Amino acid sequence: MTFSIVGRCDEGESWGVAVASKFIAVGAVVPAAAAGVGAVATQADANVAWKAAALRLLGDGVSADAVVRRLVEGDPGSAERQLGVVDATGGAATHTGADCLDWAGGIAAPGVAVQGNILAGPQVVESMKQAWDASPELPLAHRLLAALAAGDQAGGDRRGRQSAALLVVRPGAGYGGGDDIAADLRVDDHSDPVSELGRLLDLNDFYLTASTAAEKVPVDGALATELDERARALGHADFQAWVGTENYEMRVAPDTTWVDRRVLAILRGGAH
């Protein structure tokens, strides 16, 4: 009922999972990941306990292959389950139980595990793997999403579409550097969940990632005055109050010495 991709970036800094299904809120069931440890997808007749068990084993230095073997051997229901695992070093493994509903199968290669069940055919996982191989230059979240979109376009879940999710972790990548969550996005019930997930990822990139040097516009005296005046015209005490109201903290310097060019365009009446 699900197709997923588990991957690690080529630089070995990020791990993640992208998944879609004709099943409500698939993101609550399938993906798990921990920075510096690895990532996991459990699906079909999913054993959600496999997520914590797999991350625990990966954290102990057990390889992806060995994690899959241990979990499968220890579960009498494994014939109806699927599992994909990528470990800290990029080792990857996938399991498809003999009793998973057709079409079901998976592909594992260094850095990636792709798997699915109740699919339109093997072309779904094959297209996902091809898209992964063709996009090493993309940030991991976008690379996983590109692979998921390729699987969706190849037929995806043969029952239809309903939900999709994306989870990516990297040390210190979370909001304000307080945790490792680079992206944790879910589309729980939607007619085109993979496309909607892409829209959410674009918003995530804007609101929850830091501006690059090229995106930063220095704020001099004249611009500072303009920012405050425009913010007051919108009913705010000053520019910083507007920033807080609109959740642009990741895109403006705490001391307002620079502002992201897209935030500046928004305040001036443009669109990001």
Q: What is the pLDDT of residues 171-201, one digit of tens each?
A: 999 988 899 999 999 999 999 999 999 999 9
Q: Is residue 235 part of a domain?
A: yes
Q: 237 lies in a domain?
A: yes
Quickly count helices (H) and strands (E) in the chain.
Answer: 8, 12
CA distance 40 to 82: 11
103 preceded by cis ω (within 30°)?
Answer: yes
> With the CA atoms of 74, 78, 81 and 84 taken in that order, what torsion angle do they form, in degrees rounded to the nearest 10?
40
Domain-located, residue 272: no
31-34 and 2-8 strand pairing: unpaired
pLDDT at site 270: 55
State which of 180, 208, 236 marks the end of a domain: 208
Residues 159 and 241 occupy one common structural domain: no
Q: 131 and 203 in one domain?
A: yes
Which residue, 188, 208, 228, sits at the end of a domain?
208
**250 within some domain:** yes
* Run means of pLDDT, 10 residues per run, the chain, 272 residues: 95 98 98 98 98 98 98 97 98 98 97 98 98 98 98 96 98 90 98 98 94 97 97 96 95 96 92 47
How far apart, in Å, do the first and last CA atoms of the chain sit?
36
Are 117 and 130 in a shared domain? yes
8: domain range? 2-208
Residues 19 and 131 in one domain: yes
230 and 187, same structural domain? no
DSSP at 209: S
Whether residue 25 lies inside any domain: the answer is yes
User: What are the tens digits of pLDDT across the range 90-127?
Assistant: 999 999 999 999 999 999 999 999 999 999 999 999 99
- Residue that terminates a domain, selected from 166, 187, 208: 208
Pair 232, 109 in one domain:
no
Position 94 in a domain? yes
Please tell me the pTM assigned to this model. 0.93
Number of domains in the chain: 2
Residues 175 and 254 in one domain: no
Under 8 Å between Cβ of 134 and 127: no
- Distance, in Å, from the CA atom of 6 to the CA atom of 13, rounded to the nearest integer, reads 14
**What CATH number does residue 126 fall under?**
3.60.20.10
Partnered with residue 81 across adjacent β-strands are: 44
